[in-house]
A and B are shown apart, each in its own frame.
Chain A
């Protein structure tokens, strides 16, 4: 094993990984969906007759053919949506009478393989009367076109903090205002969504690349009207998720329902073109900000107004903008902060968590605005931030928006980032270039972020167990489900370290609801902070249990049995030490299990980008990116740095490349897949340096905070700020992500009333 860094590596590097599409089940049918080409319309009818005659097609159904097909389950998890938002806005698994987003499934075809299923799809005809499509919150919020007759498109209004006294704005030395667009993003894991449903007796086994197997089990059981113990959800290798794989999607409902109804295995392996149309989107906010400061640059008040694009049906994304509202203040001691939001339904696929999920939107808004204020006041943006950081001795710090930050040292992270990037040298280079009309403009952008990890109250716990076998090996089980985070390596190492036994004696089992009956899953950067803490807690329970058992065996009081290096020994003389194997042999099966609740944690950091802009073409060249993250105590630096690097690249993606435009008909221009939606490739990757500071979280015994979302949260604003700095752009509205060459060229040639002021 020593030639592999991670336990996962051997199988994944030799082609022996097993993703859902790799699982061969004899007689399995492939599902393919007939998808709406229009964004919004009234469905007159669907005709599947011809499809049913296609060789190799086993069946084809529209909603009219499946009157008992259950709707898509919504979730009210963690206050992220409300009964009111979903009332009267049912999401049918197949369109019944109204198409509300492009690609929405009109019918399903089951074939002996995917080729045949698609042959069937080509023969299905549907009649749709198009309706005007609204694809932005601004267009939808007026309710001139309603997605649900008689109901407003505004599904939820929310706020955090108290309204700011108008006198504060009037009397402040400086007030800056701006509007920002947080564009819709495609999470784009390399493996699209997958489900394989296999009926066996009176049970259903569901294989899915998924982040929350227990939630999927619960939701499928509810929609089938079954008890949860009749469903087993197994998560095999999963090809990335980034937040996008935690629901029971419409296609999942159809597949599970048909598998049970037909008594045959059915699978749906989403392809990339479907994914472009109907995979969940991330971000999608139109923001307006106002920030006031006194003449010394001390922040007085901050106001954030959000119109969020939540897609066609109220789902988890409806409440997601609350995350942005709660995190609005960022790392600063602004006394008055008020965030308000409207979650607006639009004719797009639903918005859903994507790596960062509400926090990038908060961080980008405040960090861009800090640079705007610095420019207005003529203060170096670094200095402005220093004057307003929540100081290290102020923790736990209660924000005006109701968050309690657990711990932090924001200046330390910024200092390390500036030193690493060589801030003063870059400022000198910038000054030199400003004196050279032939030089490309250069800009430096700083972004200091704080985020929340672990989950919201009610979702901060995890379940798990440790079982010792007669040979002394230990099986750890937990409710998490990884998609590349290296749990199989990190968790056994943690358990082994806590117990004082060799790593190879501990093995992890997760992602199987039959093995681990309760669990929450992998989301909100909770691997180390919550699941890790749970396993460490279980290991301590195991130690306690072992000590008590040994003491009883030896006839000693429990406090005379001590644990060290994987064995129990008497504190003075007496019996020979007992290892775990001996203990099981002598006292019977040894198993501990528990539910463990962690606290919310607030990772933070400082990212600095240096960019060079070609004003003639509008291209942005990132020369350097430094990301300093503080996620408390790091369990495995290799894994955490790997996450941070990949996350930073996704942050670059949001800043510069990723985005979609829409046609007049409301259909996104994504028909050529990854030729239209541009992910960063190696060619675009600048030199990136990842460093960390360590401020342990007091809310969890490991001291670990969440890792992995940092780059998506901190990097975009650093890059946008660097471009604005290079161009000296006065109007922040001209620079909206993604900073495509055309938009940067326009910004570079816009009038600059503040010429001369940095």
Chain B
């Protein structure tokens, strides 16, 4: 079946079997291997990507369902000039990753939440909801919470500087 996906700003026309999962199409057909498969049953969240701005499990979405959709993966998180996203800097600064396998999923769920809510920094419950969406077996989560909060603060400060 022919579909068109816009991934990280680039349009791709693909011919995919209906059963192929979005995660497999991103990884195998488009070579975007930053999206990891950790459980393939929607629990761990390592495969989370943004679909039309909302975080979804790429293992619980068929690629054909995304025909015409805009997708964003960890490869599209940094700025066009390669400038790291505040979340990427914050994850490193807070030691919010060890083996790094779950990291892209956390980054994308957090990116979706940050973009949807510029005031995320003031909402610890919402941050907890983000951290509580995925599984990490290395860090114990607390550094991830700190990193997301840090990035949210940075983003808000950056936007208020812009407004001035």
Could you say which residues of chain A place their CB within 8 Å of the CB of B36?
A: 19, 21, 190-191, 239
Q: Is there an interface contact between B98 and A646, defined as CB atoms closer than 8 Å?
A: yes
Q: Is there an interface contact between A190 and B99, defined as CB atoms closer than 8 Å?
A: yes
What would 26 A/B residue contacts be, using CB atoms closer than 8 Å? A3-B92, A8-B100, A9-B91, A9-B92, A14-B34, A15-B34, A15-B104, A21-B36, A22-B27, A190-B135, A191-B38, A237-B100, A239-B99, A239-B101, A240-B99, A272-B39, A646-B138, A646-B139, A650-B137, A673-B41, A674-B44, A681-B141, A682-B144, A682-B145, A683-B132, A685-B141
Give complex CA distance A357, B113 in Å: 39
Could you say which residues of chain A place their CB within 8 Å of the CB of B88?
A: 13-14
Q: Is there an interface contact between A15 and B75, defined as CB atoms closer than 8 Å?
A: yes
Beyond A191-B38, A674-B44, A688-B140: 17 further Cβ-contacts under 8 Å? Answer: A4-B92, A10-B92, A12-B103, A13-B84, A13-B91, A13-B103, A15-B33, A16-B34, A17-B34, A113-B28, A115-B17, A237-B101, A239-B99, A273-B41, A484-B138, A648-B140, A682-B144
For B77, give its contact among A10, A14, A238 (CB under 8 Å). Answer: A14
Q: Is there an interface contact between B138 and A240, defined as CB atoms closer than 8 Å?
A: yes
Give complex CA distance A211, B100 in Å: 16
Contact with B along A401-442 (1 / 0, CB 8 A): 000000000000000000000000000000000000000000
Could you say which residues of chain A place their CB within 8 Å of the CB of B95?
A: 5-6, 638-639, 642
Q: Is there an interface contact between A15 and B32, defined as CB atoms closer than 8 Å?
A: yes
Kindly state whether residue A698 has any CB partner on chain B within 8 Å: no
Kindly state whether residue B74 has any CB partner on chain A within 8 Å: yes
Q: Is there an interface contact between A272 and B137, defined as CB atoms closer than 8 Å?
A: no
Task: Tell me, rounded to whole Å, the shortest Cβ–Cβ distance linking A356 to chain B.
Answer: 14
Could you say which residues of chain B place their CB within 8 Å of the CB of A4?
A: 92
Task: Tell me, rounded to whole Å, the shortest Cβ–Cβ distance linking A732 to chain B.
Answer: 28
Give complex CA distance A338, B155 in Å: 60
Q: Is there an interface contact between A484 and B91, defined as CB atoms closer than 8 Å?
A: no
Could you say which residues of chain A place their CB within 8 Å of the CB of B144?
A: 682
Kindly state whether residue A675 has any CB partner on chain B within 8 Å: yes
Task: Give the residue name and chain of the A residue nearest to B21 (CB).
Answer: A115
Give complex CA distance A556, B34 in Å: 56
Could you say which residues of chain B place their CB within 8 Å of the CB of A17?
A: 34, 100-101
Task: Tell me, rounded to whole Å, the shortest Cβ–Cβ distance linking B131 to chain A.
Answer: 4
Task: Tell me, rounded to whole Å, the shortest Cβ–Cβ distance linking B124 to chain A.
Answer: 12
Q: Is there an interface contact between A190 and B46, defined as CB atoms closer than 8 Å?
A: yes
Task: Give the residue name and chain of the A residue nearest to B102 (CB).
Answer: A190
- Considering only residues 225-269 of chain A, those with a C-beta below 8 Å from chain B are 237-240, 242
Give complex CA distance A645, B74 in Å: 26
Q: Is there an interface contact between B137 and A679, defined as CB atoms closer than 8 Å?
A: yes
Contact with B along A624-653 (1 / 0, CB 8 A): 000000000000001100110110111000
Q: Is there an interface contact between B74 and A14, defined as CB atoms closer than 8 Å?
A: yes
Task: Tell me, rounded to whole Å, the shortest Cβ–Cβ distance linking B101 to chain A.
Answer: 3
Could you say which residues of chain A place their CB within 8 Å of the CB of B44?
A: 190, 272, 674
Kindly state whether residue A271 has any CB partner on chain B within 8 Å: yes
- Considering only residues 331-369 of chain A, those with a C-beta below 8 Å from chain B are none
Task: Give the residue name and chain of the B residue nearest to A687 (CB).
Answer: B142
Give complex CA distance A675, B131 in Å: 18
Could you say which residues of chain A place their CB within 8 Å of the CB of B97?
A: 9, 12-13
Kindly state whether residue B20 has any CB partner on chain A within 8 Å: yes
Task: Tell me, rounded to whole Å, the shortest Cβ–Cβ distance linking B139 to chain A.
Answer: 5
A685-B142 CB under 8 A given contacts A3-B84, A189-B137: yes
Residues in B lying within 8 Å of A, measured CB to CB: 17, 19-20, 24, 27-28, 31-41, 43-44, 46, 73-75, 77-78, 84, 88-89, 91-93, 95, 97-104, 107, 128, 131-132, 135-145
Q: Is there an interface contact between A645 and B92, defined as CB atoms closer than 8 Å?
A: no
Task: Tell me, rounded to whole Å, the shortest Cβ–Cβ distance linking A673 to chain B.
Answer: 5
Task: Tell me, rounded to whole Å, the shortest Cβ–Cβ distance linking A60 to chain B.
Answer: 20
A681-B135 CB under 8 A given contacts A13-B103, A239-B100: yes
Could you say which residues of chain B place their CB within 8 Å of the CB of A688?
A: 140, 142
- Considering only residues 179-226 of chain A, those with a C-beta below 8 Å from chain B are 188-191
Could you say which residues of chain B place their CB within 8 Å of the CB of A190?
A: 36, 38, 44, 46, 99, 101-102, 135-138
Task: Tell me, rounded to whole Å, the shortest Cβ–Cβ distance linking A734 to chain B.
Answer: 29
A272-B38 CB under 8 A given contacts A24-B31, A688-B142: yes
Kindly state whether residue A485 has any CB partner on chain B within 8 Å: yes
For B137, give its contact among A5, A188, A673 (CB under 8 Å). Answer: A188
Q: Is there an interface contact between A682 and B101, defined as CB atoms closer than 8 Å?
A: no
Task: Tell me, rounded to whole Å, the shortest Cβ–Cβ distance linking B74 to chain A.
Answer: 4
Give complex CA distance A271, B44 in Å: 13
For B141, give its contact among A115, A189, A649 (CB under 8 Å). Answer: A649
Task: Tell me, rounded to whole Å, the shortest Cβ–Cβ distance linking A408 to chain B.
Answer: 26
Kindly state whether residue A483 has any CB partner on chain B within 8 Å: yes
Residue of B36, B46, B89, B102 with most partner-chain A CB within 10 A: B36
Residue of B27, B41, B128 with most partner-chain A CB within 10 A: B41
Could you say which residues of chain A place their CB within 8 Å of the CB of B102?
A: 190, 239
A679-B143 CB under 8 A given contacts A8-B100, A9-B92: no
Residue of A17, A188, A189, A237 with most partner-chain B CB within 10 A: A17
Q: Is there an interface contact between A673 and B39, defined as CB atoms closer than 8 Å?
A: yes
Give complex CA distance A131, B9 in Å: 58
Q: Is there an interface contact between B73 and A15, defined as CB atoms closer than 8 Å?
A: yes
Contact with B along A132-146 (1 / 0, CB 8 A): 000000000000000
Kindly state whether residue A572 has any CB partner on chain B within 8 Å: no
Could you say which residues of chain B place their CB within 8 Å of the CB of A13?
A: 74, 84, 88, 91-92, 97, 100, 103, 107
Kindly state whether residue A486 has any CB partner on chain B within 8 Å: yes
Give complex CA distance A19, B27 in Å: 12
Task: Give the residue name and chain of the B residue nearest to A679 (CB).
Answer: B135
Closest 4 CB pairs of A and B: A15-B34, A239-B101, A12-B100, A484-B99
Task: Tell me, rounded to whole Å, the shortest Cβ–Cβ distance linking B17 to chain A.
Answer: 7
Could you say which residues of chain A place their CB within 8 Å of the CB of B138?
A: 190, 240, 484, 642, 646
Q: Is there an interface contact between A189 and B92, defined as CB atoms closer than 8 Å?
A: no
Could you say which residues of chain B place their CB within 8 Å of the CB of A485?
A: 98
Could you say which residues of chain B place their CB within 8 Å of the CB of A238?
A: 99
Give complex CA distance A237, B157 in Å: 35
Could you say which residues of chain B place their CB within 8 Å of the CB of A19?
A: 33, 36, 101
- Considering only residues 1-55 of chain A, those with a C-beta below 8 Å from chain B are 3-6, 8-10, 12-19, 21-22, 24
Task: Tell me, rounded to whole Å, the shortest Cβ–Cβ distance linking A640 to chain B.
Answer: 11
Task: Tell me, rounded to whole Å, the shortest Cβ–Cβ distance linking A376 to chain B.
Answer: 35
Contact with B along A667-690 (1 / 0, CB 8 A): 000001111000101110100100
Could you say which residues of chain B place their CB within 8 Å of the CB of A648?
A: 140
Could you say which residues of chain A place their CB within 8 Å of the CB of B104?
A: 15
Give complex CA distance A680, B161 in Å: 39
A674-B101 CB under 8 A given contacts A19-B36, A685-B141: no
Q: Is there an interface contact between B137 and A675, defined as CB atoms closer than 8 Å?
A: no
Task: Give the residue name and chain of the B residue nearest to A187 (CB).
Answer: B137
Q: Is there an interface contact between A646 and B89, defined as CB atoms closer than 8 Å?
A: no
Task: Give the residue name and chain of the A residue nearest to B99 (CB).
Answer: A484
Task: Tell me, rounded to whole Å, the shortest Cβ–Cβ distance linking B57 to chain A.
Answer: 12
Q: Is there an interface contact between A14 and B78, defined as CB atoms closer than 8 Å?
A: yes
Give complex CA distance A190, B46 in Å: 8
